[in-house]
Structure 1
Amino acid sequence: MAAAARFTVVGGGLAGLMTTIKLAEAGHQVDVLSLVPVKRSHSVCAQGGINGAVNTKGEGDHPDIHVKDTLRGGDFLAEQTSVKGMCYAAPGIIYLLDRMGVTFNRTPEGLLDFRRFGGTLHNRTAFAGATTGQQLLYALDEQVRRYEAEGKVTKYEYWEWLGTVKDESGRCIGSVAMDLRTMEIRTFPAEAVCLATGGPGIVFGRSTNSIINTGTAAGRAYMEGALYANGEFIQVHPTSIPGEDKLRLMSESVRGEGGRVWVPKKKGDTRNPREIPESERWYFLEEKYPKYKNLVPRDVATREIFMVCRDLGMGLGGRDGVYLDVTHIPAKTLDAKIKGVMEIYEKFVGDDPRHTPMVIFPGMHYSMGGLHVSFESDPRTHTPVDGSPVNQSTRIPGLYAAGEADSAFHGANRLGANSLLSCIYSGMIGGPAMVAFAKNQTTSAAAMPEKHFADAKKYWQDRFATIKQMNGAENPYQLAKELGDVMTENCTVVRYNDRLKKTVERIRDLKDRWNRVNVLDTGVVANRALSYTNQLWNMLELGEVIATSALLRDESRGAHYKPDFSLPEPKTKDPREDPSWMDQWRTRHEKWAKTTIATYASQGPQISYQDLPTPVLDPEPRWYA
């Protein structure tokens, strides 16, 4: 590899920008491809904060406790090497961001302030009001702009990544991408490529994700040979509000600052919530989980809200919805801590949550699954080896993944505020890994025969020419709506095998109907329908992976909940004191404590299971009572 090599990072969110920073500070050239302007990447929507066991409040918090909370919250399905590395790096990452100028909230003494999030009993979440993602994204972008001014980074905003360029051995030596304004297709040679493209929220139709989050890049990488892991683990956030275009997140920070979830004790009570006295309110999370109260992990809170509304019929007015109440907190405090969330609710609902309880219901939010990535574990520390080319690598040599696009950090359920941390940490170790990989190659990508790039470019030119001629009776946007409806109905909170089988069949029918779509627009400039029709196929492929993986995993774990395969309630408050129940749990855990691996095949995903690496922490049942 030459002294200064060229790399490609796809995605301009936190994972992509941190990867870019690490590559540029090592003296290399970086092309950053982004569907939207970098500052509009989905990381900008994150509200609540970023976790790190800094322990400024003297609670005895420690990275080891952060590791345990993360692994336990993810039901011991996370990659433990990467989790330990992330949790130990977290305090330093927070102080790094502070030095970059992130406007974190502070205590009266001037220390960084921390709030509690779900699944932990410690104040561990640093925050910048309720717009933490925006502040972090802008801070990292300022650092990238320094390298941009030096000529080391080139941004390609409004460019869509289409696929890889490979040599004869299958090594990724670049990418093919399309300018969404001019529809130009071109290749980008690269010594290594990192996909930091976020999650597949739009596979579910409406979600809290930005509408650009179709999962198309991960879907295409999977079709080209990368493995897709733990696709069935989809997080449904307990508190969101509906919208015609998407769901709006009401951050976990609301509960972290004292927000309470409740419904009237009297079924069908239609009184104004402010007229319902305390004695006639059912704070069901606080009653069932007195230790964690409203800050149980997201999968637990989601199922409880779902049960109250759907099974008991106790939702507000008999419909889906419960109150998220902060009216007992002074408005001045709310504006200092979570003003951004207050403004979102006020703007899209019309009520002031400072004085009227919010009405919320769970909504699809995050994918714990993603492209399978590997790590080299240090046998002494059980953390990723610094600078190893293995870290964050997919099965395609030279192709890496970071952020929500990878599957390594969250297991069966992500703890709130670990997402921003995992994005930044995966970029911090992924960038050096890409450099190490390039150094180990005998021939640089830049020296590869032009034929590889010309052939890849022609493939995509021909594909889009074919799509442009599609004039069937099917509307791609209608197919996407039907995909979202069936995925939301059957692959979110509660899952049943008969419905999952029908979901897989339905997706296969949608794939068949895709061949008869009408592209709707044959223009040569800014043709969104042309781009979306191609993306839709990748969404269908991911939808089939998610539904098939959920069908085959016959257990309940984290966000994947099958009542037909759930263990009975233990007879004791602490399940470890019920020997019979523990025997059942151990048997179930030994069978299913494995990573779901999906391999692409034209007839449908081929699912296998991979044993977890030697654990850093011995597994135990989750309980939060």
Structure 2
Amino acid sequence: MTAAPKAIVIGGGLGGLWAALRIADAGCQVRLFSLFEVKRSHSVCAQGGINAVLDTKGERDSIRQHIVDTIKGGEYLANQPPIKSMCESAPGLIRTFERMGVTFSRTPEGILDQRLFGGVKNRRTCFAGASTGQQLLYGVDQQVRRLESQGRIEKHEWWEFLSLLLDEDGICRGITAMDLRSLEIRAFPAEAVVMATGGFGQIYAPKTTTSTNCTGAAASRCYQQGARFANAEFFQFHPTAMIGTDKTRLMSEAARGEGGRIWVPRNPDDARPPHSIPESERFYILEEFFPSYGNTVARDEASRAIWRVTRQMGLGIGGSDRVYLDLTHLDRGFVSKRLGAILDIYRKFAGTDPLSQPMEIFPAAHYPMGGLWVDFEPDASGGMRPGSLRNHATSILGLYACGECDYAYHGANRLGANSLLSASFSGRVAGESATNYLKGLARATAEPSERILTEEVERQTAINRRLMESDGSENPYRLHRELGELMTSKVGVVRANPELEMALAELQTLRARLGSASLGNSRAWANQTLSFTRQLGDMIELAMVVARSALERDECRGAHYKSDFQIRIPEGKFPGDPEYEDYRARWKANNDRWLKTSVAEWRPDGPAIRYEAVDLGVYPPTDPRDYR
């Protein structure tokens, strides 16, 4: 009897679970690897919701508008066929989640409720209170467990991906991984591998909303073995993260969507309690800067506005990096029902009640739009051709990527609540593509040679041995904090070329210093410092890609902002006015030069950056006002 083709999925979040589900459903054998129990994956931290056009509010929303909002929110930098297919598939995904048992919030009439999210004017975000990601993940996990009980999926929790197994032709033939308890390193042959390992916000730690496991190490290891990495310069800073000494914690964009207002006292020396400051003496930042969208403006605009008010205008609370996110004017029962999860987080870690006193927040690194480069095949309708082997394939044959670790859907900036959608949709697509790739292989395909497996295991074992025997003077945790401070200060919300050049030089220094790291712990059981130190080296490699890509791109687009290259629309001028036409010419010249995907390839001395065209076939930009 012919054995079922084998696939490996790395990552137990929404993307990874969907990929595993689709591959196993098609009759292929799946091994699923995760750093921890899959129900702890970072998808559970997504709070606000998932976008889909259901128009339950009767606002005449349309799938076309969802496509346009996503394209425009990403400043036209994402290939448009994948976006079109994702938005068209969103309503069906919501219905599938319902059948899986996900308990979405509903109106008193029993209809699926939908809320506003930043960057849009229609309520199209489905949600489950303020713990939507958790509910979606648990729903898919139940389906995966069903297949696991049938022996079609085999879970390897508490295992860390170390490297790809590449044969003589550079084709992916499996992975090596380490048991995080015993530190045993093993090779796992497979005919296809799907990476679904999330983002890399930890390069900005501690000023990041992401989990300590969001290091990007797995994607970085693929990049260092030859996979391309795209659009790394675009990193979204979430405007509303609560202040903390250990890390920042996300206060969902749903707080703004439900009526939360961001403000500071007009007098920075005003020491009165916030409820004692009258309306006339409050500066409602987003409402004054963006009267059309107000507090639901897109995240990059909100983050830069807060940065401007605090850093440039000196109007932060008490002159510091803090502003108010105010929910106190809203009905307490309504807010508790819709935002209960984030209210509990704030109460626990700040010690105050957001329903009685405004929250204190500031932007924090949140979501990378960049990730592993993945391909797609367009169809005649302008979307992706279903089932194509090219969809979500990386530049390494046999390796696919999905979820936050790919770059495919968000361009220069991600719309809020499109993350859970893109993770679910891309996981499903990557699983289907990997399945068709497996079924297209000749069944006579031989296992990778024993030499390839043995040599790679020996190489990885030698890395562990060198680190555990090192008697250097550098503390890896101190180096990580220096990395986060460097990236936050020089490659953050607002960027400038001199600082980016300094950042690259300092990153090279950090890379060299890491070679002298001392673990301070040589035990051969559950050695967390060993795993962390390895990941730190991979974080530095990705930080270099971010900084180099940001230095090369001399423009302002989405989450990448260089004030020296800002092209402003002349106020009060319209088509036909000389000033406006001059602006239009400069805008077109900028797009001719920079409306391209940046693609990084690993080199020993630092990343090499090239650019490739973006597929604009669905909704091309024709006028500067398209961006407004």
Q: CA offsets per residue over residues 105-149 of structure 1, 9 Å max, x none?
A: 101111100001011100010000000011011111011000011
- Name which of 619, 624, 627 aligns with 1:621: 624
- Aligned pair in 2 of structure 1 residues 550, 41: CA closer, same or farther (>3 Å)? same
Asked if residue 302 in structure 1 is aligned to residue 315 in structure 2, the reply is no
Q: 3-state SS of the aligned residue for 1:421? A: helix
Distance 2:625 2:526 in 1: 50
Q: 3-state SS of the aligned residue for 1:610? A: strand
Matches within 5 A, 1:196-235: 196-206=196-206, 207-235=208-236
> Could you tell me which amino acid in structure 2 is paired with residue 532 of structure 1?
F
Query: Comparing 159-168 with 609-618, which one deviates more in the overlay?
Result: 609-618
Per the TM alignment, residue 466 of structure 1 is displaced from its structure 2 partner at its CA by 1.7
Per the TM alignment, residue 568 of structure 1 is displaced from its structure 2 partner at its CA by 2.9
Q: 3-state SS of the aligned residue for 1:495? A: coil
> Could you tell me which amino acid in structure 2 is paired with residue 468 of structure 1?
M
Distance 1:476 1:509 in 2: 14
% same residue: 48
The 8 Å contact of residues 597 and 609 in structure 1, kept in 2 or not, is answered as yes
Asked if residue 586 in structure 1 is aligned to residue 549 in structure 2, the reply is no
Q: CA offsets per residue over residues 423-471 of structure 1, 9 Å max, x none?
A: 0000111011101112233366663322222222111112211222111
Q: CA offsets per residue over residues 127-178 of structure 1, 9 Å max, x none?
A: 0000001101111101100001101111111110001011111110100000
Q: 3-state SS of the aligned residue for 2:236? A: strand
- Aligned pair in 2 of structure 1 residues 504, 2: CA closer, same or farther (>3 Å)? farther
Per the TM alignment, residue 576 of structure 1 is displaced from its structure 2 partner at its CA by 9.7
Q: 3-state SS of the aligned residue for 2:115? A: strand
Matched positions, count: 624
The 8 Å contact of residues 289 and 305 in structure 2, kept in 1 or not, is answered as no
> Could you tell me which amino acid in structure 1 is paired with residue 516 of structure 2?
R
> Could you tell me which amino acid in structure 2 is paired with residue 121 of structure 1?
K
The 8 Å contact of residues 162 and 176 in structure 1, kept in 2 or not, is answered as yes
The 8 Å contact of residues 116 and 123 in structure 1, kept in 2 or not, is answered as yes
> Could you tell me which amino acid in structure 1 is paired with residue 23 of structure 2?
L
Q: Which residue matches 1:440?
A: 440
Q: Which residue matches 1:5?
A: 5
Q: Which residue matches 1:346?
A: 347
- Aligned pair in 2 of structure 1 residues 438, 2: CA closer, same or farther (>3 Å)? farther
The 8 Å contact of residues 195 and 401 in structure 1, kept in 2 or not, is answered as yes
Distance 1:526 1:604 in 2: 32
Q: 3-state SS of the aligned residue for 1:274? A: helix
Q: Which residue matches 1:596?
A: 598
Per the TM alignment, residue 413 of structure 1 is displaced from its structure 2 partner at its CA by 0.5
Q: Which residue matches 1:125?
A: 125
Distance 1:292 1:604 in 2: 41
Per the TM alignment, residue 226 of structure 1 is displaced from its structure 2 partner at its CA by 0.2
Distance 1:276 1:554 in 2: 42
Matches within 5 A, 1:166-565: 166-206=166-206, 207-378=208-379, 380-442=380-442, 447-565=447-565
TM-score by length of 2: 0.97
Unaligned runs of 5+ in 1: none
> Could you tell me which amino acid in structure 2 is paired with residue 611 of structure 1?
A
Q: 3-state SS of the aligned residue for 1:523? A: coil
Q: 3-state SS of the aligned residue for 1:9? A: strand
Distance 1:3 1:347 in 2: 52
Q: Which residue matches 2:611?
A: 609
Per the TM alignment, residue 623 of structure 1 is displaced from its structure 2 partner at its CA by 7.2
Q: CA offsets per residue over residues 279-338 of structure 1, 9 Å max, x none?
A: 221112112222211011000000001101111001111111111111111111011111
> Could you tell me which amino acid in structure 1 is paired with residue 237 of structure 2?
V
Distance 1:267 1:471 in 2: 50
Distance 1:492 1:363 in 2: 9
Q: CA offsets per residue over residues 472-497 of structure 1, 9 Å max, x none?
A: 11111111111111001111100010
- Aligned pair in 2 of structure 1 residues 445, 336: CA closer, same or farther (>3 Å)? farther
Q: 3-state SS of the aligned residue for 1:123? A: coil
The 8 Å contact of residues 243 and 360 in structure 2, kept in 1 or not, is answered as no
Per the TM alignment, residue 621 of structure 1 is displaced from its structure 2 partner at its CA by 3.4
Q: 3-state SS of the aligned residue for 1:188? A: strand
Distance 1:502 1:508 in 2: 10
Distance 1:447 1:221 in 2: 21
Q: 3-state SS of the aligned residue for 2:362? A: strand
Q: Which residue matches 1:31?
A: 31
Distance 1:259 1:562 in 2: 29
